[in-house]
Structure 1
Amino acid sequence: MAAIGIDYGTSNSEVSYFDGQQHHFIKLDPNIDGANKIRSSVFIYYENELPTPPTSMIEAKVAQIKRAITEQIDKAKEGYYEAQDGKEQQRFSDQIDDFRAELHNLPALQRRAIELLLKDMTVQDLPLKQLVETGKFAFGEEGFKRYLKTPDKGRLIYSPKNFLGANLVAGQQQAFVGLIAKQLEFFRLSAEQQLNMPVDTAVIGRPVKFHGTRGHEGNKQAVDIMTQAATQAGFNQIEFLEEPIAAAYKIERTLDNHTNVLVADIGGGTTDICCIKLSPAKQANLDRQQDVLSVTGARLGGMECDKNLIIQSIAPTMGRGLLMRNGLPVPPTFFSDMCAVDDIPKLNRFFSDESWLEIVQTKSDVKESKMLGRLLAVQEQKLSARLVNSARLAKEMLSSKDIITLPLHYIEPDYDVDITIEELSRSMQSWLRKVKALVSECLQNSAEQPQMLFITGGMSLSPIVKKELEEIMLPHLPVMQGDAFNSVCEGLAIQAAKLA
């Protein structure tokens, strides 16, 4: 039996097996040659017809049909009493009998209700739980390409991890258990196939604080969902390890002597900081909590930067800041809701008929209506996830360029937006202040000061982040070089090997 490390991330996920000497990364996305990482997003879809609507929807529609039939019976009764001769009375009497028979034929009413519902229903009308139970799953680039090609055939969950600590309504918690179980099972089966051995144990990375506003309850819910999902996916033994501590276990293998290291793991959804005592002599120890000097974290990831960049540089070309005839600005919630791919209630509000009507009315109330037309296109075609992905690509391109032209032709032909490194930097400032506050908090809570700095996670590659942390905030700390993407997963695999 083998044990694997799973870095289940906000933007990307990764799986690794450590044999005691070297790491073996599991290929998860067949659409990308040599790619170990896979998009964490999931596209749940239907190739043909939608499934039977949920019972609650059918019952509601049946009740609506019954009300309509009852009204027909009442009208027929009025006609019966107002009839002038026996033949006319008999005609209304026959109608009443037919309507009553129809009213009490429940199977026929249910079939009629289902037909009416399917005629007007879209995949967005299905509860997430039913979608998970009845839909097909596509992961990674395959799923994202399916979403781009046929967004009306399914629903893209851009980042399942972001919802684990949220206030989930009835049915949603079990929906996410089932959804994530499908992903974890895919990871396990891929590992078994490539390692040619059974896999029954996993060490799964977790942030210090899961994305959400519910504190301890949210974190407990997130761990419960992940535990249930991993069990459902076929793992017999499951452990969780905080991501910055996992990264520390990886870099510990490069050290020659005892060193206190400040680890900053800045990922897509969260930022986690820890100060930890590392030593080659302790590499084999299973429990290292006594070596953790301080650890803290918050939901401050690269996705927030993506959304901020949209608000800063893209939304103004969609009507943000325009004034309506009454002198008031176009509602800013249009744009914040448009970006809320990690907030189901906000995104549902943006895609609602009410929101569509508000945007249409606002579009007719501003001079530059073409700009609002772009916002309307995103709303009508449900392009929010694609737009956030475009902002992420712009952010990555600006890591090596001073200015880029971002094509948004899927919104409008010839629609391009120029974005500069200065604009990106401005959009990141409020986020950076929060990240630096976390670093300060970790340092203040540590009984011993760090001797070295290690930054990992996708956002560690940003020259803006590196400059703020390495040159401005912590210039006195030597910087350890390491893999920005693989360190957490490698550390998780090292811990999994100890369990095995």
Structure 2
Amino acid sequence: MAAIGIDYGTSNSEVVYFDGQTHHFIKLDPAMEDANKIRSSVFIYYEHELPNPPVAVIEAKVAQIKRSITEQIDKAKDSYYEAKDPREQQVYSDKISDLRSEFHNLPELQRKAIQLLLKDMTVQDLSLQQLVETGKFAFGEEGFRRYLKTPEKGRLIYSPKNFLGASLVAGQQQAFVGIIAKQLAFFRTSAETQMQQTVDTAVIGRPVKFHGTRGEQGNSQAIDIMTQAAQKAGFVKVEFLEEPIAAAYKIEQTLDKPTNTLVVDIGGGTTDICCIRLSADKNTCLDRQQDVLSVTGTRLGGMECDKNLIVKGIAPTMGMGQLMFNNLPVPPTYFSDMCAVDNIPKLDQFFSDEYGLEIAQTRCMLKDPKLLMRLQTVQEEKLSARLVNSSRLAKEMLSSKQQITLPLHYIEPDYNVDISLEDLNRSMQSWLRKVKSLVTECLENSLEPPEMLFVTGGMSLSPIVQKEIQRIETQQISLVDLPVLEGDAFNSVCEGLAIQAYKLSNSI
């Protein structure tokens, strides 16, 4: 039996097995060069016809058809009594008999009801729970390619992790249990196939605070969903570890003396920070909570930067800021709603026919409606996730360039947007202030000052982020002069989780 570490991230996920000496990265997505990383998004789709509507919906449609038949029978009766020719009466008599036969043929009525319902039904009409129970699942680049090719065939859940601590309506909680169970089962099967042994234990990374406004109740809900999903995926034992602490366990192996370390983990969806006592002679201990000096976190990940860059750098080329004939600007909520890939209710609303009609009406109130047509294309063709992905690529390219031209030809032929490093910097300022405030909070809550800084997570590769974090100063400590520990920005969390999984399996 083996134990694995699972970094279940907002943007990407990873699985690592540690044998006590070496980390083994599980290949999850052969379509990618870095095959041990996989998009956390899931595409749930239908290759052919959609599933039958729920029984209650079919019954309601049958009742509607029956009412229509009854009305036809009544009209045929009136015509029968008004007819003066016996042959004409016979025609209406036969029609009444046929309609009564149709009224009592329940299997045929149900078939007709299903046919009528499916004629106008789209994937968006299905509840998330029904989608999970009846659809097919595609992960990683395979799923994203399917989504790009046929978005109308399914539904892309851009970041399941972002919903775990949020308020979920009836059925949605179990739907997310099902989605995540499918992902975790895929991870476990991949590990077992490559390791040639059974995997029954996992240590899964978790943010300090899951996304949501429900506080500790939301955190408890998220852990409950993840626990149920792990059990459904076949894991016998599962534990959770805060992601910055996991990263600390990895770098602890490189230290030659006890060191208080500030770990800043900035991922796709959250920023998590801890100040922790590290010592190589403690790296076999399972419980290290007494060494955690301070820990904090919130939803301040790279995805927020992707959306901010759209609003600041791309949306103006899509009509944002234009004035209507009444001298009021195009509603800015159009563009924030367009980016809401991590908010299912808001995105469903944006993709609705009513929202599309509202955008079309707004276009009619503009002197130059061409720019807003680009927004309408995103709305009609459900391109939000693709646009956010384009923004993420732009952000990554600007880590090494002063300016780029971002092609958005899937929205409009020859549609290109020039984005500079200055544009990115400007779009990140409000986000950076929140991150720096969070780091300051962690420093002020720590009983002992850090002696070393370690910044990890995908956003740590941004020169803008590195520069701003190292500028932080409080009354007690300045990060300007703090030694910076070099490490793997993408793998340190999962490697730390794998170390904890190894210790857990050996303690059983």
- Confirm or deny a common fold (TM above 0.5): yes
1:6 aligned residue: 6
Q: Residue 213 of structure 2 aligns with which residue?
A: 213
Residue type of the partner of 1:298? Answer: T
Quick one: which amino acid aligns to residue 347 of structure 2? L
Match of 1:494 in 2: 499
C-alpha separation in 2, matches of 1:184 and 1:106: 43
What secondary structure sits across from 1:471 in the alignment?
coil
Question: Any idea what SS the aligned residue of 1:229 has?
Answer: helix
In structure 2, how many angstroms separate the alpha carbons of the residues matched to 1:39 and 1:213?
25
Opposite residue 418 of structure 2, the aligned amino acid is D
| Alignment pair present for 1:452 and 2:457 | no
Query: 1:305–1:33: structure 2 CA closer, same or farther, 3 Å change rule?
Result: closer
Looking at structure 1, the residues matched to 52 and 95 of structure 2 have their Cα atoms a distance apart, in angstroms, of 31
Aligned to 2:307: 307
Task: Determine the structure 1 residue equivalent to 2:400.
Answer: 400
2:487 to 467, 482, 487: 482
Alignment of 1:3-402 (within 5 A): 3-80=3-80, 82-84=82-84, 88-89=88-89, 91-402=91-402
Distance 1:57 1:162 in 2: 31
Please state whether the residue corresponding to 2:62 is helix, strand or coil.
helix
Distance 1:222 1:151 in 2: 28
State the shift of 1:22 in Å: 1.3
Q: What whole-Å deviation, never above 9, does each CA across 1:258-293 have from its counterpart, x for those lacking one?
A: 111111111000111111111112111100111111
Question: Within 1, Cα distance between the matches of 2:443 and 2:256?
Answer: 24
Partner amino acid for 2:374?
R
Amino acid in structure 1 at the alignment position of 2:489: A
Q: Quick one: distance in 2 between partners of 1:214 and 1:63?
A: 42
Amino acid at match of 2:492: S
Offset at 1:325?
1.4
Counterpart CA distance in 2 for 1:268 and 1:430 is: 16
Taking the TM superposition and a 5 Å limit, the aligned residue runs for 1:431-470 are 431-470=431-470
Once the two structures are TM-superposed, the CA of residue 102 in structure 1 deviates from its matched residue by: 2.5
2:257 counterpart letter in structure 1: N
Taking structure 1 as reference, are residues 446 and 74 closer, same or farther at Cα in structure 2, changes over 3 Å only?
A: farther
Identical pairs, percent: 78
Could you tell me how far 1:83 is from its partner in structure 2? 4.4
Asked whether the 8 Å contact 2:405–2:418 carries over to 1, the reply is yes
Amino acid at match of 1:105: N
Number of the residue aligned with 1:419: 419
Gaps of 5+ in 1: none
C-alpha displacement of 1:170: 1.6
Q: Deviations over 1:87-139 (max 9, x none)?
A: 55554454444333333332221110111122222222222222222222111
- Alignment-mate amino acid for residue 491 of structure 1: G
Shift of 1:425: 1.0
Distance 1:324 1:81, change over 3 A: farther
In structure 2, distance between residues paired with 1:210 and 1:371: 37
Structure 1 match to 2:476? none
SS at match of 2:471: helix
Q: Find the aligned partners of 1:68 and 1:410 in 2 and give their Cα distance.
A: 45
1:82 deviates by 4.5
- CA separation of 1:329/1:82 partners in 2, compared to 1, >3 Å: closer, same or farther? farther
User: In the alignment, residue 235 of structure 2 is paired with which amino acid?
Assistant: F
Contact 2:324 2:365 in 1 (8 A): yes
SS in 1 for 2:137: strand
What's the CA shift string for 1:330-365, capped at 9, x where partnerless?
A: 122211111000000110001101011111111121
What is the TM-score when the length of structure 2 is the normalising length?
0.95
Give the C-alpha shift of residue 302 in structure 1. Answer: 0.5
Q: CA deviation at 1:472?
A: 4.6
CA deviation vs aligned residue, 1:415-450 (integer Å, no higher than 9, x gap): 000011111111111111111111111112111111
In structure 1, distance between residues paired with 2:481 and 2:321: 43
CA displacement at 1:57 relative to structure 2 = 2.7
AA matched with 1:233: A
Which moves more between the two structures, 132-141 or 78-87? 78-87
- Length, aligned pairs only: 500
Letter in 2 for 1:327: N
Q: 2:436·2:472 contact (CA, 8 Å) conserved in 1?
A: no
- Looking at structure 1, the residues matched to 267 and 30 of structure 2 have their Cα atoms a distance apart, in angstroms, of 24
Shift of 1:377: 0.8
User: Is the 8 Å Cα contact of residues 440 and 472 (structure 2) preserved in structure 1?
Assistant: no
**Alpha-carbon offset, residue 194 of structure 1:** 1.0
Map Cα deviations across residues 142-189 of structure 1 (whole Å, 9 max, x no partner).
Answer: 111111111122111111111111211222111111111111111111
2:329 alignment partner, SS class = coil
**Which region of structure 1 is more displaced relative to structure 2, 359-368 or 401-410?**
359-368
Q: Which amino acid aligns with 2:234?
A: G
Q: Which amino acid aligns with 2:41?
A: S
Correspondence for 2:410: 410
Equivalent position amino acid for 2:166 in 1: A
Cα distance 1:220–1:472, how it changes in 2: closer, same or farther (>3 A)?
closer
Amino acid in the other structure paired with 1:32: M
Structure 2, unpaired ranges of 5+ = 474-478
Over the residues paired in the alignment, what is the CA RMSD in angstroms? 1.5
Whether the aligned pair in 1 keeps the contact of 2:398 and 2:421 (CA below 8 Å) is: yes
Q: Deviation at 1:301?
A: 0.7
Q: CA deviation at 1:66?
A: 2.6
One-letter amino acid of the structure 2 residue matched with residue 494 of structure 1: I
* Aligned-partner SS, 2:213: coil
User: What is the rounded CA distance, in whole Å, between the counterparts of 1:166 and 1:58 in structure 2?
Assistant: 32
